[in-house]
Amino acid sequence: MMLKDITIGQYFPGDSIIHKLDPRGKILLTLALIVLVFLATDLAAYALLAVFLFSAAGLAQLSRRRLLRSVRPLWPILLITFLVHTFNGQGEILFSLFIFKAGSDGFLLGLTMTIRIIFLILFSSLITMTTSPLELTDGLERLLWPFKKIGLPAHELAMMMTIALRFVPTLIQETERIMTAQTARGAEFSSGSLSKRVKNLLSLVVPLFISAFRRADELALAMEARCYRGGEGRTRMNELAMGARDVCAALVVGVLIIAVCYIKWCF
């Protein structure tokens, strides 16, 4: 089932050098790589990004198959992105389909945008697979800490983002459970008329929303029972500290940025 292929928000524990990197550094480096993805326009630049990505996955002891699984559930979005740009009629007309015309420039633009989205998904998946939700919360909170001077609730915002990310796998499991129960009761989600599918989909969406609100309420009660009162005065068992490995990772990404910029503006 496609839902089982969704790895967004899942954390795979490990003892690799990538797992041990400071979460603040991983967040900043991921943002830098995302910007770099949009700077890259040449095939050689994308090849460098791919080599870096799969090398990092190898260091993190993640198989390529596991990493690429994060792209599979989003193939409809990738396909729509490619088709919309291809059939915009820009450049030399390659072929026509009814009133739509596929241009050479549109084809290249669609291919470029699709590749960019794939890299964005893979880099985002890499950081969530190698960083626990607690580490992500601490890292985000530390990075947002300077903005507290202007009234930004850094701790609460980081907590919200991490909880939302953490609940993605939980909601996927809940969706599978409800789909199995409804299928056993005769519901059809992949066959039948459109109206019947929509009606059956309601039997999935309504229980899922109820379950999500119930889990949110249970989480709020659990936090209150543990005397959670926000970030004021909170201490940490393990303080974040950057080391030599974080400096090395930053240097590697810096070299990658220089190489991509050189390919872009000097070739």
Q: Do 252 and 221 fall within a single domain?
A: no
Q: Tell whether 179 and 123 lie within a shared domain.
A: no
Better-scored residue on pLDDT, 200 or 245: 245
The residue assigned the tokens 């607690």 is 134
Residues 212 and 88 reside in one and the same domain: no
- What is the domain count for the chain? 2
Q: Is residue 92 domain-shared with residue 28, that is, in the same domain?
A: yes
The answer to whether position 50 is within a domain reads: yes
Q: Domain span at residue 164? A: 156-226
Q: Are 234 and 155 in contact (CB under 8 A)?
A: yes
List the structure tokens of 235.
Answer: 């201490």
Integer Cα distance of 250 and 23 in angstroms:
13
pLDDT for 135-184, tens place per residue?
Answer: 888 888 888 888 877 877 777 787 787 777 777 777 777 888 888 887 78
Q: Is the pTM of this model over 0.85?
A: no
Please report whether residue 113 resides in a domain.
yes
The H-assigned helical ranges of the chain are: 23-39, 43-59, 64-68, 75-86, 104-130, 133-144, 154-184, 194-225, 244-266
Looking at the domain assignment, is residue 233 inside a domain?
no
Q: Which one, of 237, 233, 235, 253, lies nearest residue 245 by Cα? A: 253
> Measured between alpha carbons, how far is 151 from 144 in angstroms, rounded to an integer?
11
Q: Report if residue 136 sits inside a domain.
A: no
pLDDT in tens, 220-237: 888 888 877 766 666 666
Reference 206, options 251, 174, 161, 252; nearest CA is 174
Q: Same domain for 222 and 245?
A: no
> Do both 10 and 35 map to the same domain?
yes
* 73 in Cβ contact with 5 (< 8 Å): yes
The proportion of the chain whose per-residue pLDDT surpasses 70, expressed as a percent, equals 90
Q: Verify that 6 and 117 share a domain, yes or no.
A: yes
Provide the Cα torsion 216, 218, 222, 227; round to 10°: 60
Co-location of 80 and 207 in the same domain = no
Domain contains 236: no
